[in-house]
Amino acid sequence: MAAMALFFREFVRTRRDTGAIAPSGPSLASALTRYVVPGSGRPRAVLEVGPGTGAVTRRVRASMGSLDTLDLAEANPRFAALLQRTHGRDARVRLLEGPVQEHELGAYDTIVCGLPFANFDEGTVEDLFGRLLGALRPGGTLSFFAYAGLPVLRRTFAGDEERRRARRTQAVIARTLQRHRFRAETVLGNLPPARVHHLAAVAPAPAYSG
């Protein structure tokens, strides 16, 4: 409950960066962590970007093997302090406090991302996708979500300038999905419903239809 209250307070304080009024629910957390699976051979490296109060982090940790590692990149110092208290004693977890753009990232098998891309300008989104896709090991995946219907709401209620910004940002997201997405799923059991996108650094070859 304290996490829920903190999340809402931070939404009021920094709406653009927090991007939601409440943490992700269990069905969304489960879809986002679909590709966090313990490896049979070498340890696996996981990065979670924008973990907030840790709704998805708990699921990530539960899916990790004992030798796997988890980097948490969180920009908001109040969320980072909560994450440190909750997950800091797990030797597999390392907290990267501050915007993910300000950190030297490692190489990851799985990246789970909670960033509210739709709120950012096109340059920031382009830069973030470049960094995250560039930090994937061969065969690695990047999973992120967007609230279903949000772009339409934005177009309906926003002023001209905000509408133009949102359109440019959506174009970058659409182009990235076209190049890198190999799977998408809709999570109706979240409030609001969300669309989860799974990306690979190298776009999968189109299916043979001969």
Ligand X SMILES: C[S@@+](CC[C@H](N)C(=O)[O-])C[C@H]1O[C@@H](n2cnc3c(N)ncnc32)[C@H](O)[C@@H]1O
Binding site for ligand X (CB under 6 A): 17-20, 23-24, 49-52, 55-56, 73-76, 79, 99-101, 114-116
Amino acid at 200: A
As measured in angstroms, the least distance from the Cβ of 56 to ligand X is 5
As measured in angstroms, the least distance from the Cβ of 175 to ligand X is 20
As measured in angstroms, the least distance from the Cβ of 9 to ligand X is 12
Pick between residue 100 and residue 187 the one whose CB is nearest to ligand X.
Answer: 100
In the chain the first and final C-alpha atoms are separated, in Å, by 55
- The Cα 54–Cα 73 span in angstroms is 11
Pick between residue 51 and residue 140 the one whose CB is nearest to ligand X.
Answer: 51
As measured in angstroms, the least distance from the Cβ of 168 to ligand X is 18
Distances (CA, A) of 98 to 82, 103, 155, 177, 204: 14, 8, 31, 26, 33
As measured in angstroms, the least distance from the Cβ of 147 to ligand X is 9
Q: How open is the CA angle 208-39-88, to the nearest 5 degrees?
A: 130
Q: How open is the CA angle 37-40-46, to the nearest 5 degrees?
A: 40
Pick between residue 124 and residue 183 the one whose CB is nearest to ligand X.
Answer: 124
- The Cα 84–Cα 35 span in angstroms is 24
Pick between residue 114 and residue 140 the one whose CB is nearest to ligand X.
Answer: 114
Pick between residue 76 and residue 170 the one whose CB is nearest to ligand X.
Answer: 76
- The Cα 48–Cα 124 span in angstroms is 18
